[in-house]
Amino acid sequence: MTILRSWPGIGRINLATLLAEAAEPLRRRDYHALRALAGAAPVTRQSGKQRFVIRRLACNRRLQSAVHHWSRVAIQHDAASRRRYDALRRKGHGHARALRSVGDRLLFALCTTLKRRTPYDADHNGTKNSANG
């Protein structure tokens, strides 16, 4: 619970929704199941010569909304999330698409911190380790 609360932007309502709607994938630290359940995993459709990627429609709506709001607040309070969002917007992605990507990254990092049993660290992007050696 402490690890989950350490994430910027998660809030108590989003935290409760994550725990209620995705308890099993969180317990297993299953990133792929979590991202599919939250609607962050894209779907590839192909037929003959055509191939395109669309957003996932078959997902848990409550969890999808929680991850959306978590991403929205994270880009306001977390520099790494903001940089990712801004880079996606510069590439031409829409607001919702960029938030889904930020949310997908947050879910991956959340599973990683749960596996390592460490709280969120905003400076973990290698800046501290590269300065030491």
| Mean pLDDT estimate for the chain | 87
What's the pTM value of the predicted model, to 2 decimals?
0.84
Residue spans per domain, the chain: 2-123
| pLDDT tens by residue, 10-47 | 888 989 999 999 999 999 999 999 999 998 888 888 88
Rounded (5°) CA angle 67-68-70 = 60
pLDDT at 58 over 80: yes
Number of H helices, E strands in the chain: 8, 2
Phi–psi pair at 20, nearest 5 degrees: -75, -40
Position 60 pLDDT exceeds 70: yes
